Amino acid sequence: MTELLNGFPKPANCPEPGECIRVERPEDGLAIVVLDPPHRSLAVLDAPLLYDLDKVVQELENDSSLKAVVFSGRNPTQFAAGADIDGISGITDKSEAHRVVSFVHDIFSRIESLKATTVAAVGGAVPGGAYELSLSCDYIIALNDPKTRIGLPETQLGIIPGWGGSHRLPKRVGIPSALDAILSGRLYNAKTAMKRGMVDRLAHADQLVSIASDVAMGRMKVRKKERGIYKYLVDRNPLARLVIGYQVRKMIMAKTKGRYPAHPLAIDLVLNSMGANSHKMSESESEAVADLATGDVCKSLVSIFFASEAAKKYARGTKEFEPRKLEHAAEIGAGVMGGAIASVLAEKGLNTRLIDLSRDALDASEIEHQQTILKKMKRRRLKPHLADAAIDRLRTSTKIDGIRNAQIVIEAVAERLDIKQQVLQQVAAQVDDKCIIATNTSSLSVSKIAEGIPNPERVVGMHFFNPVRKMPLVEVIRGEHTSEETVIETAALAARMGKTPVIVKDVAGFLVNRLLGPYLDEAMRLFVNGVSPSRIDKLMLKFGMPMGPLRLLDEVGLDIAMHASESLEQAYGVRMTPCPGISALASDQRLGIKTKRGFYDHSGKGKPQLCDDLANFQTSDDCKGLSDSDIVDRLILSMANEAARCMEENVTATQQELDLATVFGMGFAPFHGGLLRWAEKETHSEIIKRLEKIAAAEDILNRAGGIEKFTPSAWFVEYS
């Protein structure tokens, strides 16, 4: 179907023309246009559907008896999932992208120009292009249901709302609200969308299409939310738009550091929407999408999107195995991480028993849980009855008892093999054979932890990252005996908790910590050998990391980092030998943020400042003369080379999963698309040259494992 849309890629199992849309005529003068493509479980605005929509609109234009048109999905909770992201990722030519976007603009503009009254009856997911189709209608009726989510998330994929959203939404809700919606990429529930004026009326499932029909036929009046005087004080006031533009650009620049080109383009389009006609705005949007969709940032963000969607799909199971919806859980260990895991489990609907020997730790976790839930309720993120239920679902105990009904038990006790084995053996004695037993270990072998436990196929690693509520990644570690069903159900629970699961092989350090090890060690070596600590951290911030490696060491804790590096050395040998400088710096009073002092002084209320005695721990000037690019290479390539070794060992099934883990687990810059995607863009042959340059440098010869660390991996060589 490529030729139908001037280059829009043809999807697999493509239907014949005319099969994606059906038009119902329940009464004279009314047409109900139903998006119902046979090749999709949920309608997507792909080539076949858009081609059919073009033909249907043409027929509607030629129907002189037509009074009203309703656009709907095949059922109330299924309108359309927006534009075809596969299609976006497949376009590499700007002129081709421009033609595709212009084609869709033409369809939506003709819908907007129909003489008949048009109404969109929407429900379920209504993102991006699906909402832009709705915006071209006279009225939007939305399903009053928790599943309804409406918005324009395009900036999250590195593009702008390019099918009319950048100029139709501001005219509907005003410039400030439109900027907030477009720049945040947020999807709103039905009631919030109604309050913001993004839709005109709510309806229940059994009345959605009938109410939309009545509105379209003029039998029911709908009053649109009016901007009133604000339309003239803000939207049509050049001075107000100038001030808003300045403030928003300043905020976005501080947040994105100018690395995401879609945001400033979106700001310009929204601010110009009031003074320009639709044709001019459509052309501006088409040009913007053509530039952005073929650019590297968009391709990188789309690759992360696909990886995230693949992880969610895995968590939904297969035709042969559908994961249970777990109802009862237990969490052993009420430390900072264990308490947070239990809190999230309870919030997400599981009756959760939190167990710890310390009553004080249990009480602290319970108070923290209550405060977190109540804060969400006050901010209207949870309804009062749901907040009460979440609080009630968490119970505590100082004994491993009351867990016979548990369908999953997660332990987060001390990082010692003997302790974890002892705890899980006690758990196994109380739960049934179908209960999943998960260990939240960051470094110990899941297979060894499972030794001696009956039915070891139910033992799995579930590695959360700190802080649990904020970090989006969970590494699901497949032990030697872990069954596929256990892995799927654990991934499903992680997804239910709002996390993205990545399935990882049971190797030392798993994935994220294994990659962070050489990175943090290299930062320590650069520091010890004369590079300014502020320079190290600033260069990594400039590269796109969320914080510098020395600041990250403070967050992790110097003692934890030392323990992790020693474990990695035991597993991988000389290339992971830790820099002795970290033990020289660390002391009981200097472990990072937990003791208020490490590389940074965290004792004040403001932004942490570098400590003034760090020069005392620098033992040479060997690396002081390195260029910025040399420093960046030593830091990033130490990770990239180890990532390539992970690919050799099949630590993750695909490069896509590894890249996803680096973005969600260590904050690797999304605009790079992940660690190995960055290396791919640099080209493997170039990466090999730069690795060999570092390995040959004189200063590295005296460093344990330096040559091995930077010797190009066989994976880079094979795929160069």
Q: What is the pLDDT of residue 604?
A: 86
CB neighbour class for 233 (10 Å; exposed up to 12, middle 13-18, buried from 19)? exposed
Q: Which CATH number is correct for 2-294, 3.40.50.1820, 3.30.1330.30, 3.90.226.10, 3.40.50.720?
A: 3.90.226.10
d(CA 342, CA 390): 11
Average pLDDT estimate for 214-236? 84
- Edge-to-edge, what's the strand order for the sheet holding 436-439? 394-397, 351-355, 328-332, 408-411, 436-439, 459-464, 473-478, 500-505
Average pLDDT estimate for 3-13? 53
Q: What is the pLDDT of residue 86?
A: 83
CB neighbour class for 165 (10 Å; exposed up to 12, middle 13-18, buried from 19)? buried
Tell me what percent of the chain is helix, strand and coil, each rounded to the nearest 5. Answer: 50, 15, 35
Q: How confident is the model at residue 704 (pLDDT cuts 50, 70, 90)?
A: confident
d(CA 445, CA 616): 38
Residue 148 has pLDDT above 80, yes or no: yes
Residue 380 has pLDDT above 90, yes or no: no
Q: What is the pLDDT of residue 324?
A: 95
Average pLDDT estimate for 556-577? 92
d(CA 284, CA 291): 11
| Higher local confidence (pLDDT), 643 or 382 | 643
Q: What is the pLDDT of residue 1?
A: 38
Q: How far is CA 98 from the centre of its chain?
A: 28
Q: How far is CA 110 from the centre of its chain?
A: 35
d(CA 690, CA 142): 55
- Locus of tokens 């590297």: 296
| DSSP run (H or E) holding 718 | helix 714-718
Average pLDDT estimate for 203-220? 96
Q: Which two tokens stand for residue 576?
A: 């992971």
* Fold of the domain built from segment(s) 328-505: Rossmann fold (3.40.50)
The catalytic site residues sit at 463
Which positions ≥6 away from 694 have C-beta within 8 Å? Answer: 630, 633, 634, 637, 700, 710
Q: How confident is the model at residue 235 (pLDDT cuts 50, 70, 90)?
A: confident
pLDDT 10s digits, 312-331: 999 999 999 999 999 999 99
d(CA 343, CA 353): 10
Residue 227 has pLDDT above 50, yes or no: yes
Of 3-7, 239-243, 382-386, 481-485, least confident by mean pLDDT is 3-7
In the chain, where are the structural domains located? 2-294, 328-505, 512-651+683-718
d(CA 594, CA 135): 51
Sort residue 29 into left (φ over 0), alpha (ψ -120 to 50) or beta: left
Q: What is the pLDDT of residue 2?
A: 42
Residue 570 has pLDDT above 90, yes or no: yes
Q: How many residues does the chain have?
A: 720
Q: How confident is the model at residue 5 (pLDDT cuts 50, 70, 90)?
A: very low
15, 48 Cβ separation under 8 angstroms: yes
Average pLDDT estimate for 560-572? 91
Average pLDDT estimate for 196-205? 96
Average pLDDT estimate for 294-315? 95
44, 87 Cβ separation under 8 angstroms: no
Q: What percent of the chain has pLDDT over 90?
A: 85
Q: What is the pLDDT of residue 10?
A: 59
Please choose, from the candidates 647, 337, 696, the residue with its C-alpha nearest in 3D space to the C-alpha of residue 511.
647
Please choose, from the candidates 423, 474, 479, the residue with its C-alpha nearest in 3D space to the C-alpha of residue 448.
479
Q: What is the pLDDT of residue 33?
A: 98
Of 427-431, 441-445, 513-517, least confident by mean pLDDT is 441-445
d(CA 520, CA 617): 16
CB neighbour class for 671 (10 Å; exposed up to 12, middle 13-18, buried from 19)? buried
Q: Can you spell out the DSSP letters for 665-705?
A: HH---GGGTSHHHHHHHH-HHHHHHHHHHHHH-GGGGGSTT
Helices 384-392, 359-378: crossing angle, 10 deg rounding? 170
| Higher local confidence (pLDDT), 127 or 583 | 127
Q: What is the pLDDT of residue 701?
A: 64
* SS3 label, residue 314: helix
Average pLDDT estimate for 4-31? 77
Average pLDDT estimate for 606-619? 93
Q: Which CATH number is correct for 512-651+683-718, 3.40.800.20, 3.40.50.720, 1.20.1630.10, 1.10.1040.50?
A: 1.10.1040.50
Q: Can you spell out the DSSP letters for 517-528?
A: HHHHHHHHHHHH
Residue 9 has pLDDT above 70, yes or no: no
Q: Can you spell out the DSSP letters for 125-180?
A: EEETHHHHHHHTSSEEEEE-STT-EEE--GGGGTS--TTTHHHHHHHHH-HHHHHH
473-478 and 500-505 beta bridge pairing: parallel
Q: How confident is the model at residue 229 (pLDDT cuts 50, 70, 90)?
A: confident
Please choose, from the candidates 558, 575, 574, 445, the residue with its C-alpha nearest in 3D space to the C-alpha of residue 510.
445
Compute CA distances 59 → 63, 65, 510, 568, whole Å.
6, 12, 58, 67
pTM (two decimals): 0.91
Q: What is the pLDDT of residue 231?
A: 73
pLDDT 10s digits, 23-34: 999 999 999 999
Same topology between domain 2-294 and domain 328-505: no
Q: What is the pLDDT of residue 442?
A: 87
- As a whole number of Å, the CA-based R_g of the chain is 28
Average pLDDT estimate for 666-695? 95
Residue 6 has pLDDT above 60, yes or no: no
How does the average pLDDT of the chain come out, rounded? 93
Q: What is the pLDDT of residue 11?
A: 58
Q: How confident is the model at residue 3 (pLDDT cuts 50, 70, 90)?
A: very low
